[in-house]
Structure formats: C-alpha cells, structure tokens
Structure 1
Amino acid sequence: MADTLGINGTGVTQAVRGAVFLCDAETLIGKTDLKKFELTAESVQLTTSGSETAKTFYNMGHMSNETLPEFSLDGGDATNLSTWLEASFRTSYDETTGKVTFSSVQGDKTTLKTIYNAVDMDDNVGVAFSLVKTPVAKSVLILWQDTNTTERSAILLPNLDLAFSNLPSLNTSQFTEYAMEGTIKTSKKLPKDASGKYCSVAIFDVADFKA
C-alpha cells in the first residue's frame, strides 16, 4: 500500500531532551539497532554480519540545553526558465550546501580531544590544539525524545566533516559551552533519490523506533 497523508498525532514531538552520538563516517543504522539508541546509552554497538568489524556509536554526553543542534542551508536558489511559448516552463535550483552546529557542556579531556582534535600535553596534563581546523569525517546521530510521550526521533548524518567552531564560551549563569560545526556531505551508503542523486541525510520518525 502506498503511503498517504493523514492526521498522526504521534508524529508531533518536542525535543525536550537529546543526545549526540558519533561513529566512523559512512556508518548507517539498521532497524534492529535503532531501538538500542537511548538518551543515556554510553555507546551502541551495531549488529554485524559475516566478517564485518563491529561499529560503535559513542554518546557525547551532556550537550547544551541553551544551544540546541541547529541546521542551516546555503544556496538552493530557484531559477525559472521560460520558452517562447510558455512562461516559467521549467524551474532549476542552485546547488545547496548544509551545515549543523551543536555545543557540548561536558568539558572532560576525552570530549575536548574529540571537539578540538587535540593532543595530550607532556606528562598527560592538559591538551593542545591548532587554530587551523582539521575536519574529521564522522557519522553523527542526533537523537531527541519527547519526555511527555517518551517518543523518540532522530536525524542521521552519515558523512559529516566535523571541526570546532570556536573557543570555549564562558558564562556566569549557564554552563561553559564547547561548540562544533559540521559540513554535511553526500553519502554513497544512503540510497539515491528519485532524481538519481545520492542522499545526505536520513530521518527516523517515531514509528521507526517501534518497527
């Protein structure tokens, strides 16, 4: 049966609580593993088949409640082409690029090394990093849960170039924030869309977590 539009109250959610999980780039999540993703899961090891090496998504821990993950698109402007016979005969769109930003408030050494691509200092005291950003390719799952209904939803970015976006943001009334930004790239692990282009983003709705 083909999908049809309709009224579905369970699809209406609030991102009351959330978590960000990181894994190796171009790692997808199957139906069996999706249910394993809980807000407090330290890590989620994916099911493997045959001789495949097990992949694991790691929870980044406490993220900012003030600066939630935010997505932005650039480009994608429409151009209308006319024929001599008909106005606005065809519409084409410029290339679109996407970014995501999110902030951690968990300033432990492991998290800082992940965010800043940092290295240990001598005697393992402190970490150091360059202001020249070096993007690290990751697969990122952003999970959110409506605590009023317990329903979960998520967005997966399988091929994301991650780097820090700023130095720590200090505040006297909120937690210190450590911000990251990611450039969303196409993934050859995802299916192609109706026009034959590789996709970049996967979204899991409430029903997917129950499938």
Structure 2
Amino acid sequence: MVDTITTKVNSDALVSPKRGAIFVAPVDSKLPADMTKFTLGVDTVDPWHNLGHTSADNLPTFETSGGDTSSTSTWLQANVRTSTEDVTYTMSAKSVQADSATLKLIFGGWDGSVTGAVAVAPGTSTRLALLVFSYDTTTNEAFGVYVPRATVTADGIVDLSGDFAEFGMKATFEASPSVKPKSDGTQGTFEFLPAESFKVTGA
C-alpha cells in the first residue's frame, strides 16, 4: 500500500540513451561522493573502471525471471493465501573491445601460452559490482543502474557477424548491504540512478 503519491508530469526526466558505458569494480564497491566524475570517456573513477566499448547494435538488456504470484485455497474458502516466487534479475551486454584485460574479465580467463593470449575454461564466473551508465547526448542528462553484487559469466564465445566482434556477458544480480535497505528492513538488490544522482558533488 502506498501512503503518499507524489508523481507528476516531468518531461526533463525523459532519457534517450544515445551513448553509454559499463563500469566495473570489486564486489560491494560503493558509489563515490562526487558522482559528476562519471562521464563517457573517463577510464577510472576509483575503484570503478570503464569496461570500454560495448555494442551499439546490442545495447545492455535487463530481464526478470520468477515473481509469479499464486493463490492457495481451502475447502472452505477460495484464494485464502497468496505467495510470490523469488525474483532473479539479470543483465546481458556485448563488449566489442577485444583486449586481454576485457576478455579476462568477461570469461574469467588467465594468461595463455603466448603474449596477450587469454586461456578460458567453461563455467568460470567473476563476481563484480556494476554501474550501467547511459547518456542522452541531446539533453546532456545521464541515467544509471547500480548493482553492487553480480556474478558475471560469458554468454557464448564470440559473434563475428557484425561490424565488430562481440563478446557476450551475463550478470546475475545478488542482494547487497551496499544498497540502502527499505524502512522495514527489506534488503535491496540494485538502485536506479536518475539524472539528479549524477549531479551530486559531495565531499
């Protein structure tokens, strides 16, 4: 139940994600006090690192699985109790940056047999914090999704059919104490970051 509703028409909150980047950091990394440091071209906002070039044809996508609600009845009464399945959040993205550091991160790989080579084993995963940063080049406004805990696995090997070789990754979100809990103690999994979040210039 919502106690107070304060929504209104706000055309300034429309974001067309013409450009964007994915930042990665050690699991449970917090966001910096000065959020204005996040820009498209920045390499590092300590401890966050820009994953680099990702596909413009296959933008990051977010999916939800589970969460179905079902009712249980008794002989006496219908729909006497309602239960909801656990929900899993995931994000898929395609990197187009074929350097050793990026491939190691996506595939959980390690140094291969020759300089620059990346060795890979199936089923390897990496736990990271993620910040998906999208930017509207018309309004110069940003929008983000902050995921302090995610398990990242490779999604396929490589797609060579487009303008650039694409390396898929899939991140499964986990609940994290780095997300501020709800007033009733409910632990969050991720945070939406609207435009005003990226204008914070705290000490």
Q: Same fold (TM over 0.5)?
A: yes
Cα deviation per residue 1:130-183 (whole Å; 9 max; x = unaligned)? Answer: 1x2222110000000011101001001100001111101011x42110010111
Change (3 A) 1:201 1:126: same
Deviates more, 1:107-116 or 1:73-82: 73-82
TM-fit CA distance, 1:124: 2.2
Question: Which of the numbers 161, 164, 169 marks the counterpart of 1:180?
Answer: 169
Answering whether residue 60 of structure 2 is matched by residue 69 of structure 1, we say: yes
- Point out where structure 2 has 5 or more consecutive residues left out of the alignment: none
Which residue type is aligned with residue 110 of structure 1? A
Q: Which residue of 1 aligns with 2:151?
A: 161
Match of 1:201 in 2: 190
Cα deviation, residue 207, structure 1: 1.6
Q: Report the residue type matching 1:150 in the other structure.
A: N
CA distance change for structure 1 residues 206 and 125 in 2, over 3 Å: closer, same or farther?
closer
Deviation at 1:19, TM superposition (A): 0.1
1:1-211 pair list within 5 angstroms: 4-30=6-32, 32-45=33-46, 56-81=47-72, 88=79, 91-130=82-121, 132-171=122-161, 173-211=162-200
Q: Quote the Cα distance in structure 1 between the aligned partners of 2:195 and 2:154.
A: 31
Task: Output the CA distance in 1 between the equivalents of 2:85 and 2:112.
Answer: 46
Give 1:91 deviation, angstroms: 3.8
Alpha-carbon distance between aligned partners in 2 of 1:178 and 1:58, rounded to the nearest angstrom: 18
Q: Distance in 2 between matches of 1:72 and 1:143?
A: 17
TM-score, normalising length from structure 1?
A: 0.85
Q: What TM-score comes out, normalization by structure 2 length? A: 0.88
Instruction: Evaluate the alpha carbon distance shift between residue 105 and residue 90 of structure 1 in structure 2; reply closer, same or farther with a 3 A threshold.
Output: same
Distance 1:119 1:33, change over 3 A: same
2:66 and 2:182 map into 1 onto residues whose CA distance is 19
Aligned Cα root-mean-square deviation (Å) = 2.0
Deviation at 1:193, TM superposition (A): 2.6
Structure 1, unaligned stretches of length 5 or more? 46-55
Would the aligned equivalents of 2:20 and 2:134 in 1 still touch at CA under 8 Å? yes
Deviation at residue 110 of structure 1 after TM alignment: 1.5
Cα displacement string for residues 6-42 of structure 1 (whole angstroms, at most 9, x for unaligned residues): 1111111111100000000011214x23211101111
Cα distance in 2 for partners of 1:167, 1:77 equals 32
How far did 1:209 drift?
A: 1.7
- 2:7 and 2:88 map into 1 onto residues whose CA distance is 29
Q: Per the alignment, in what secondary structure is the counterpart of residue 98 of structure 2?
A: coil
